Structure 1
Amino acid sequence: MTIDPEAPPMFPQPTIDPAMAPIAPGFRAVNLFVDAHGAAPAALDPAILAGACRTVREGGPAWAEAHLANWAEVYVRFGAKPNRTPCSAQALRKRVLKDGSLPAINPVVDLYNAVSLLFAVPVGGENIDSYAGAPRLTIADGSEPFDTIANGEPSIEHPTPGEVIWRDDVGVTCRRWNWRQGARTRLDTFTGRMWFVLESLDAMPIEALDDAATCLELGLRTLIPGCSIIRETLAVE
């Protein structure tokens, strides 16, 4: 774990339900906790996202197909249909292969989308100040509320029983592991505290996961000068 001495000591600590072990025994992740109070993101060099899209069009990275197939297997294991609701990294990759590029959203989202494409790894970004309690990766019983937008209007859905979800004390924050992010905790401001999680399975080399986290960390430090960052690892036990 690398801790920035200027970072605040208290962030809610993500946990993994032990029941996840049979579903994804090789799961491991890196958390980046960012404090950007008083900071404002700079403009992201458009070449960063464009370069990531080019890497995908050229077939990279080397482990992409195996890793994304690994994610599809895990999705099937908890009852999801990966062709209909793929993991976030697969969804981004398919869009680039179809359209050739991704549209810009905002500097922080564009940065973590670029890292996801470059390393074929799901990357999530959340407003940790909007959380009630700590993030938990667990299995849904189907009663948990998930706030989203449907047809342009706020809507509440519920996960399928047995579905893998990220949640907090209020409800679901991301459905089908990393398929769809909720509205309540999404990043729409970049001057507070943020949580980024990079999620990998056995088919992705551990060194590549570390490189992806470093790439995102360096990008955030450039994008948000003066921010504080805590980096931690997380794995199924």
Structure 2
Amino acid sequence: MRTVLPSIAREIAVLAPGFRALSISVSASRMVRPDLGKQALEAACQSIAPGAPAWADAHLSAWADVFRKFGAKPQRTACSADALRKRTLKVGSLPSIDPVVDLYNAVSLKYAIPVGGENFEAYVGMPRLVIADGTEEFDTIKGGVPALEAPEKCEVVWRDDVGATCRRWNWRQGVRTRLTADAKQMWFVLESLPEMPINSLNEAGDALVDGLRLLMPDAAIDTRLIGAHIE
């Protein structure tokens, strides 16, 4: 299998001390239970409650603080987990998108953690979490048509050798590397700050891996803990 080996810029450790994440590489296989993702998402939406789990509010608040540090406004562009939770608590549900996307959205909701899913076949080089210089290309959709934009200088982005793949750390994913259920090589990243206990991060990773194994029993999966450290 192709194992994804992400890198994290030194500056991230200054911006978000204690940041750590689970990087999960998947060589996909045939799906045997395509309804599993939708079921997991529905269950997560029904079980979500304000202030749960116990560390959820502190974790999402810490993400908002980090966003402010690099110039983002969390009231307008919140981290992905906060946006999902607020939407679900407001309307009571989330639309089903795709078996794999539904599965990782369910994990994000249940554990109050940003979870990204990417089509690794579309990557050129390995993913890198960096401070943007403002020249990176980011492909998106505006007014229903494809468009290119650039992140703001000093914004935190995930990128590859071509350009930015996710803006404002985990706020919005690009179109080029967007994950769908027919991808052969998948990459997931579960991102946490110290306010989320490490055992809960591992539990969230296990929940995603368990779901993927039920969805695709013959998939090859590799999980690695990554982090930002100052040497």
TM-score (norm 2): 0.95
Deviations 1:129-184 (A, max 9, x none): 10000000000000000001111100001000000000000000000000000000
- Match in the other structure for 1:3: none
**Is 1:43 equivalent to 2:34 in the alignment?**
yes
Query: Helix, strand or coil for the counterpart of 2:89?
Result: helix
Task: Tell me how far apart the structure 1 counterparts of residues 109 and 214 of structure 2 sit (CA, whole Å).
Answer: 19
Task: Tell me how far apart the structure 2 counterparts of residues 76 and 58 of structure 1 sit (CA, whole Å).
Answer: 23
Query: Helix, strand or coil for the counterpart of 1:234?
Result: strand
**Count of paired positions:** 228
Query: Helix, strand or coil for the counterpart of 1:232?
Result: strand
**Is 1:120 equivalent to 2:118 in the alignment?**
no
Closer, same or farther: CA 58–50 of 1 in aligned 2, 3 Å: farther
Q: 1:54 aligns with which of 20, 27, 46?
A: 46
The alpha-carbon deviation at position 41 of structure 1 amounts to: 5.5
Query: Helix, strand or coil for the counterpart of 2:154?
Result: coil
- Residues 81-230 of structure 1 mapped to structure 2, 5 A cutoff: 81-230=73-222
Name structure 1 gaps, 5 residues minimum: 1-7
Closer, same or farther: CA 126–166 of 1 in aligned 2, 3 Å: same
TM-score (norm 1): 0.93
The alpha-carbon deviation at position 191 of structure 1 amounts to: 4.3
- Match in the other structure for 1:76: 68
**Is the contact between residue 40 and residue 190 of structure 1 (CA under 8 Å) also seen in structure 2?**
no
**Structure 1 counterpart of 2:133, one-letter code:** D
Task: Tell me how far apart the structure 1 counterparts of residues 62 and 141 of structure 2 sit (CA, whole Å).
Answer: 29
Task: Tell me how far apart the structure 2 counterparts of residues 47 and 54 of structure 1 sit (CA, whole Å).
Answer: 11
Name structure 2 gaps, 5 residues minimum: none
**Structure 2 counterpart of 1:112, one-letter code:** Y
CA RMSD, aligned part only?
1.2
The percent identity for this pair of structures is 55
Task: Tell me how far apart the structure 1 counterparts of residues 76 and 165 of structure 2 sit (CA, whole Å).
Answer: 20
- Match in the other structure for 1:15: 7
**Is 1:235 equivalent to 2:193 in the alignment?**
no
Task: Tell me how far apart the structure 2 counterparts of residues 129 and 171 of structure 1 sit (CA, whole Å).
Answer: 15
The alpha-carbon deviation at position 58 of structure 1 amounts to: 5.5
